[in-house]
Amino acid sequence: MERIKNIFKLFSKTDHSLSQLEPPQPEVTTPQTPYEKSRMITPEIMAKARKKVEAEERKRRGPPVVFLPND
């Protein structure tokens, strides 16, 4: 029984020490040179790319198919 209690004490100590350690956060750097700024993906670029992809999908699918009821 003593041995089991000692093991639990060891685990509780390590658990507390592990919870205090936090993983390092990656640094976020802002672009400094004009080249880096030109390489940034802006919302405008994303919107243009999205429109292009959607247009290609519409071309591939063809015209919308409408089922008319028989009269």
Structure confidence at residue 43 (pLDDT): 86
What pLDDT does residue 34 have? Answer: 72
d(CA 39, CA 29): 14
In this predicted structure, what is the pLDDT of residue 47?
A: 94
Reported as a single tens digit per residue, the pLDDT across 17-66 is 545 556 666 676 666 777 776 677 788 889 999 999 999 998 888 777 77
Question: pTM score, two decimals?
Answer: 0.36
Q: Are 39 and 31 in contact (CB under 8 A)?
A: yes
**At residue 13, does pLDDT exceed 60?**
no
